[in-house]
Amino acid sequence: MDFMVLSLLVYLLGAVTFIWPKKAELVAHYFGMLCSIAASGLVAFSSLSYLLSSDSVWLIDMAWGQYTLQADGWSGAFLLITGVAGVIISIYAIDYGKGYLGSRIRALGGLWNLFLMSIVLVLIAGDAFTFIIAWEIMALVSFLLVNHESEKKKTVSAAYQYMVMTHIGTAAIMVAFYLVASAAESFSFMDMANNNLSGYMKNVAFLFAFGGFALKSGLMPLHIWLPNAHPAAPSHVSALMSGVMLKVALYGFGRFAFQFIGMDVFWYGLIVMVVGLISAFLGVLYATMEVDMKRILAYSSVENMGIIFSAFGCGMVLYSMKFPMLSVVAFTAALVHAASHSLMKGLLFMSAGCVMHATGSKNIEHMGGLARKMPYTALFTLIGSMALSSMPFTSGLVGEWLTLQSFITFAQQAGSPELRLLVVFAFIMLGLTGATALGCFVRMYGIAFLGRARTHIVEKAHEMPFFMLAGLALEAVLIVFVGVMPDFLVNLMQRVVSGSGIILMGNPLGIMWGGSGYYALYSPALIFIVFAFIGVFMVAAVYRSSTFQAKEVTWNCGTVPTSRQQYSATGFSKPLRRAFDGILNPKRRTTYLRKEHAYFGRKLHYELSIPDLFNDKLYKPLQQMLINSSSSFHRIQEGSVSIYIGYTMVAMIVVLIWGVLL
Amino acid sequence: MEYIVTSIGLSLVQGFVLLLIAPLVAGIINKVKARLQKRQGASIFQEYFDICKWWKKATILTPYTGVIFVLAPVVYFMTSFMAATMVPGFLTGQFSMGDAFIFVYILALGRFFMTLSSMDAATSFGGMGGSREIYISVLVEPAVMLAILINSIRYHSTTLSAMVIDYNEAFFTVSAVLACVAFFLVMLAENSRLPVDNPDTHLELTMIHECMTLEYSGKLLSLIHLGSYLKIVVFLALFGALYVPVEIPLALKVLLGAVLIGIVETLNNKMRLFKVRVYLGAAIVLLLLAIIAE
């Protein structure tokens, strides 16, 4: 705990950059990043002690008046995620942040430290007050960070949308906390665990808690802020928001599910599972339609949070069906996938930052052939894309496999036809999600990094400076390490959710999962060895200098192929757009501009937009309703003072009468 | 440790055996098709000659291509080979390095690199093939997941060796027959056969898999073809071992499956691209009924 407090202080020290003299901006930036690296390192290091302690709930109270700090295994898991992401992304930001020299870089460094500090504070909060205060600091600081490039109109509107949405979420969480705390007559988490909430109030508290945390983690239909806020923020901020902040919402929800509300009711888990599955598929489907690199990644975050929550929901369902031992695999799946998503999404947001740095654009339609200009970035981005498509030898498949195993475990126990239908639905969704994710990242990587340059902006692209590449490389190494040797991470994470009893076997061979006559195994290390074994022969047979001698331009019916003949990103996703047009509802418009000649040289203008389903069907009507209802208040808002005095008098009389009658 | 080494060795041997017979099975399919179309057809060993021919020829690259383009065929071949080492029922016994999901994701690794490579040559044909391949794979995947689900419910495991069909338990039950038919439909789509894709042509209207490989030549082309022949054999073996509820030797099942593919390909036309979702929807519904009936 001492280390935790120390790390908080170091973060605060990093925030000194706010008042650093303007002349030494660069020094301030270095100082800020150094502080955040050191503090995050401390967080990651000390989180291991909470995770590794045999007692999974290890409490240290440090009462400063009403405020309590505590850390147990559940917070330890998220502290580890935060610490690792904090170190790596801060390393990346050493060079990336230099792009903001002259545009409030001192504030950026200070806010960066405060953001990390508030996340850590949320994770070690020991009572509802501290939690809400830390949560609110996190919301405000991240709002300021999203709004950093406030010269752009789009950024400001995205930031305010985020502000409004996140506060709706905070309000819901506060209600949930209030209900639990008033039943327990204490704000401390320890006491709140022994609350005597009645069944009905418990349902209400659960719904508020799930609503609030689902909003913060971007589950559909509450994801609406996410695809706007992530592209607006500086890239390292989006990496941290997507990699860590979304997980903090899972942390909060887990606290409620494990400690405060319990998981005895079947439909709690059911709701979480179904919402998660729908978010997973719709998120990745929208991601496949986007052409803005950061929006692709933002929607993919919706997908991955969906997978994580569906696994968590599956665990809750198994628990409510009285299979606490079996539910371990599902909770472990959620945690492992959360950790691996933090790695891979951190990597890809950082590489999106690299691409923006190199080309000045986020639109993949303008790119192509970047792999030749920036080979190292391309390599690391490839690893990230593979991980997000859950390919073998990456951490993505470990989480995905555990998720699939938890649903299979559920299927074993689901005897009745209704539950069978639910299982079938889950597997259809997971199958669609997995395959679409592959398509999405093949498309993003293929269009941006392979082929030929589509516009001139690629011409001036260059390889990235050292620290940016170092950030990418560290994430990539961790992804492959977890992918090939998953036992370390899996053992850590399952220790958190199962206490001391180890059910899910993580051994040097891989991950084994068994229980009540059921058994499955995934051993990436062995597969890797076999792959390497064949690979040696293949390389010896194929990659000889004699194999590749001739280079010829592709036969193109007698003409020289141009870069515009390549498939575009929009074209690439066309079959999927058509297959799911019932959901996506694409709006097409073709206009003919025929000024000069009726037949020759007329210009065609083609427009395609895919509005977000929930934006059109849910938020716009809601917004309209709000505006209409508030305009109806115009009638009583006359503007003359005497009328307002009248209102006050009426109100007082009503209160007096009420007081007398009661 | 010794057990693991022996088992891996046996798996590798099995992979090589399947690799050796793969072109033969492809030759048999082509022969069946030719005879049904009242043609003499090429010899059943023709595919061996083709692969040797391509192996000897020069490999020509487009100047725009990069590392991915030369890497993809090798990865594709290796994933098919890896899948071949995992098929239960020949030599592997109870040993497994990964279960059915891993099997699916290893094949997906090959698809990942092939679709990437289709975009690397910077032509419109390649992109078209990649885009359609993704479309088909998105529709196939749920059916594959359900096919795994049904056997794992029945045999309480997702490892392929445990999922081998038990003839006493599942001898022509409703659920076994439905799953068998559905998996056959899925197999045709996964291996780019008619009626989903036409393996014989690479015309603009029909091309999916063949047009991803349009830019390849020489050794790389022969690897791609070898990989896709191997994939058919792997799927036929898996189909026989896991889903055909009749007790006959596995080798015979593979042979009969190949003949059946030949017959189905002769009787059917290539389907319109956007009709494929109806076709795979049918497979999903069959599997759904099978799971309810289980």
pLDDT, tens digit, 9 for 90 and up, residues A318-340: 888 888 778 888 888 999 999 99
- Tell me whether residues A521 and B12 touch, CB distance under 8 A: no
Between CA B87 and CA A342 the distance in angstroms is: 34
Tokens standing for A278?
């729908």
- Tell me whether residues A446 and B115 touch, CB distance under 8 A: yes
Between CA A272 and CA A263 the distance in angstroms is: 11
Please tell me the distance in Å from B124's CA to the nearest CA on chain A: 5
Side-chain-facing half-sphere of A585: CA atoms under 13 Å: 9
Which residue from A555, A560, A613 is spatially nearest to A587, judged by alpha carbons?
A613
> Given A412, A522, A566, which is nearest B99 (Cβ)?
A522
The pLDDT, as a whole number, for residue A360 is: 84
**Does B4 contact chain A (CB < 8 Å)?**
yes
Percent of chain A's residues with pLDDT above 90: 31
Chain B positions touching A430 (Cβ under 8 A) are: 145
Spatial strand order in the sheet of A510-515: A505-507, A510-515, A518-522
Least confident of A93-102, A236-245, B42-51: A93-102
- Nearest residue in chain B measured CA to CA from A522: B98
The pLDDT, as a whole number, for residue A594 is: 64
Which residue from A286, A169, A212, A229 is spatially nearest to A613, judged by alpha carbons?
A286
Q: Is residue B243's pLDDT more than 70?
A: yes
Least confident of A651-655, B67-71, B200-204, B237-241: B200-204
B139, B275 Cβ separation under 8 angstroms? no
Q: Is residue A554's pLDDT more than 90?
A: no
Give residues with Cβ within 8 angstroms of A423, minimum separation 6. A407, A410, A411, A414, B149, B291
- Tell me whether residues B141 and A431 touch, CB distance under 8 A: yes
The alpha-helical segments, DSSP class H, found in A416-547 are 417-449, 466-484, 487-498, 524-542
- Nearest residue in chain B measured CA to CA from A436: B138
Q: Is residue A502's pLDDT more than 50?
A: no
Tokens standing for A641?
């003072």
The per-residue pLDDT for range A110-140, each reduced to its tens digit, is: 899 999 999 998 988 888 888 998 999 999 9
> Given A386, A442, A539, which is nearest B134 (Cβ)?
A442
> Given A391, A517, A554, which is nearest B62 (Cβ)?
A554
The per-residue pLDDT for range B118-163, each reduced to its tens digit, is: 888 888 888 888 898 999 999 999 999 999 888 888 888 888 877 7
- Tell me the angle at which helices A466-484 and A324-359 cross, rounded to the nearest 10 degrees: 150
Between CA B218 and CA B133 the distance in angstroms is: 23
The per-residue pLDDT for range A254-299, each reduced to its tens digit, is: 888 888 887 888 889 899 999 999 999 999 999 999 889 999 999 9
The pLDDT, as a whole number, for residue A477 is: 94
The per-residue pLDDT for range B224-236, each reduced to its tens digit, is: 999 999 999 999 9
Between CA B142 and CA B238 the distance in angstroms is: 18
Domains of chain A: which residue ranges?
A: 263-544, 613-661
Cβ count near B228 (within 10 Å):
22
Chain B positions touching A559 (Cβ under 8 A) are: none
Which residue from A247, A276, A306, A307 is spatially nearest to A122, judged by alpha carbons?
A247
- Tell me whether residues A435 and B70 touch, CB distance under 8 A: no
Q: What is the mean pLDDT of residues B167-174?
A: 74
Residue B181's H or E segment, with its range, is: helix B174-190
Amino acid identity for residue A475 in this structure: E
Between CA A319 and CA A252 the distance in angstroms is: 19
A37, A91 Cβ separation under 8 angstroms? yes
The per-residue pLDDT for range B279-293, each reduced to its tens digit, is: 988 999 999 888 888
**Does B6 contact chain A (CB < 8 Å)?**
no
The pLDDT, as a whole number, for residue B75 is: 93
Quote the mean pLDDT of chain B: 86
The per-residue pLDDT for range A175-196, each reduced to its tens digit, is: 999 988 888 888 888 778 777 7
Q: Which DSSP state fits A521?
A: E
User: In B, residues 179-238, which contact A (CB 8 Å cutoff)?
Assistant: 215, 218-220, 223
- Tell me whether residues A552 and B74 touch, CB distance under 8 A: no
Between CA A404 and CA A426 the distance in angstroms is: 10
The per-residue pLDDT for range A411-449, each reduced to its tens digit, is: 888 878 888 889 999 999 999 999 999 999 999 999 999
Q: Is residue A501's pLDDT more than 50?
A: no
DSSP string, A221-243: TS-TTHHHHHHHS-HHHHHHIII
DSSP string, B246-257: S-S-HHHHHHHH
SS3 A592: strand
Quote the mean pLDDT of chain A: 85
Which residue from B133, B106, B97, B146 is spatially nearest to B291, judged by alpha carbons?
B146
The per-residue pLDDT for range A389-413, each reduced to its tens digit, is: 999 999 999 999 999 988 988 888 8
The pLDDT, as a whole number, for residue A559 is: 82
Between CA A387 and CA A332 the distance in angstroms is: 18
| Range ranked top by mean pLDDT from A45-54, A202-211, A499-508 | A202-211
The per-residue pLDDT for range A157-181, each reduced to its tens digit, is: 888 889 988 999 999 999 999 988 8
Side-chain-facing half-sphere of A242: CA atoms under 13 Å: 38
**Does A624 contact chain B (CB < 8 Å)?**
no
Tokens standing for A223?
């994801």
A320, A255 Cβ separation under 8 angstroms? no
The pLDDT, as a whole number, for residue A500 is: 46
The pLDDT, as a whole number, for residue A109 is: 86
End-to-end CA distance of chain B: 38
Between CA B260 and CA B263 the distance in angstroms is: 5
Chain A positions touching B292 (Cβ under 8 A) are: 417, 420-421
Which tops the pLDDT comparison, A322 or B167? Answer: A322
Amino acid identity for residue A10 in this structure: V
A43, A7 Cβ separation under 8 angstroms? yes
Please tell me the distance in Å from B36's CA to the nearest CA on chain A: 34
The pLDDT, as a whole number, for residue A56 is: 43
Q: Is residue B202's pLDDT more than 70?
A: no
Which residue from A113, A101, A102 is spatially nearest to A141, judged by alpha carbons?
A113
Q: What is the mean pLDDT of residues B87-111?
A: 81
Q: Between chain A and chain B, how many beta carbons pairs sit less than 8 Å apart?
A: 245
SS3 B128: helix
SS3 B130: helix
Cβ count near A425 (within 10 Å):
15
Q: Which DSSP state fits B156?
A: T
Cβ count near B35 (within 10 Å):
13
The pLDDT, as a whole number, for residue A62 is: 55
Which tops the pLDDT comparison, B26 or A52? Answer: B26
The alpha-helical segments, DSSP class H, found in A321-414 are 324-359, 370-373, 375-388, 395-413
Q: How many residues does chain B have?
A: 294
Between CA A18 and CA A11 the distance in angstroms is: 13
Tokens standing for B174?
């409703």
Chain B interface disruption, residue of A395, A422, A458, A522, most B CBs within 10 A: A522
Amino acid identity for residue A602 in this structure: R
